[in-house]
């Protein structure tokens, strides 16, 4: 198993104009990252949501963006718990000095396929998660995880 430091290094830096964070010196291009390893169980979804919200609040991220991030991390974590055969998941976030936020959920299921959006119907309760992620995100995607045996699904939030 790789360490959280490797998870942090796998998150792409963002270049979004500042809108809700105090200005920083132009030479300050650092990103700030956080990762949390949780069991792949339903109870982990609210834990991930609350931990990410607290972490973003401590960094001065505006309430609207934190609310979007909470919903996106909930949807991504729920999908990893429900649709993979993982024993644990890693939820990661990166905040850039330019106001962007990127969220990632890594699963450890080596047999999992990349997620795909389903067509929601009025009769089905589920199937809307990735549509919500897409609506709230500047971009999103999935690829093989560099830190687990499974996939990582990521979302870059609009500012």
Does the pLDDT value for residue 42 go beyond 60? yes
Cα–Cα distance measured from residue 135 to residue 120, given in angstroms and rounded to the nearest whole number: 14
Q: Which residue has the higher pLDDT, 103 or 6?
A: 103
Range of the domain at 51: 4-10+32-157
32-39 sheet: strands from edge to edge: 32-39, 88-95, 101-107, 151-157, 137-144
Q: How confident is the model at residue 110 (pLDDT cuts 50, 70, 90)?
A: confident
Q: What mean pLDDT comes out for the span 105-128?
A: 70
Does the pLDDT value for residue 69 go beyond 90? yes
Q: What mean pLDDT comes out for the span 132-155?
A: 91
Q: Is residue 22 part of a domain?
A: no
Does the pLDDT value for residue 80 go beyond 50? yes
Residue 11 phi, psi (nearest 5):
-80, 130
Q: Is residue 145 part of a domain?
A: yes
Does the pLDDT value for residue 27 go beyond 70? no
Q: What is the CATH number of the domain that holds 104?
A: 3.30.565.10
Does the pLDDT value for residue 21 go beyond 60? no
Cα–Cα distance measured from residue 22 to residue 18, given in angstroms and rounded to the nearest whole number: 8
Total domains, the chain:
1
- CB-based contacts of 46-50 (< 8 A; 24+ apart in sequence): 46/74, 48/73, 48/74, 48/77, 48/89, 48/91, 48/105, 49/73, 49/74, 49/77
**What's the gap between Cα 139 and its chain centre?**
12
């Amino acid at each position: 198993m790789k360490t959280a430091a490797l998870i942090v290094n796998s998150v792409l830096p963002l270049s979004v104009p500042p809108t809700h964070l105090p200005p920083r010196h132009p030479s300050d291009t650092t990103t700030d990252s956080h990762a949390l390893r949780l069991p792949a169980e339903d109870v982990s979804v609210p834990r991930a949501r609350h931990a990410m919200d607290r972490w973003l609040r401590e960094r001065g991220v505006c309430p609207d963006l934190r609310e979007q991030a909470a919903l996106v991390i909930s949807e991504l974590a729920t999908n990893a718990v429900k649709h993979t055969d993982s024993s644990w998941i890693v939820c990661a976030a990166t905040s850039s000095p330019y106001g962007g936020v990127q969220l990632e959920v890594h699963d450890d299921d080596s047999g999992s396929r990349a997620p795909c959006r389903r067509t929601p119907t009025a009769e089905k309760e589920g199937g809307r998660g990735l549509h919500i992620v897409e609506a709230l995100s500047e971009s999103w995607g999935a690829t093989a995880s560099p830190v687990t045996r499974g996939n990582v699904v990521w979302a870059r939030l609009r500012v």
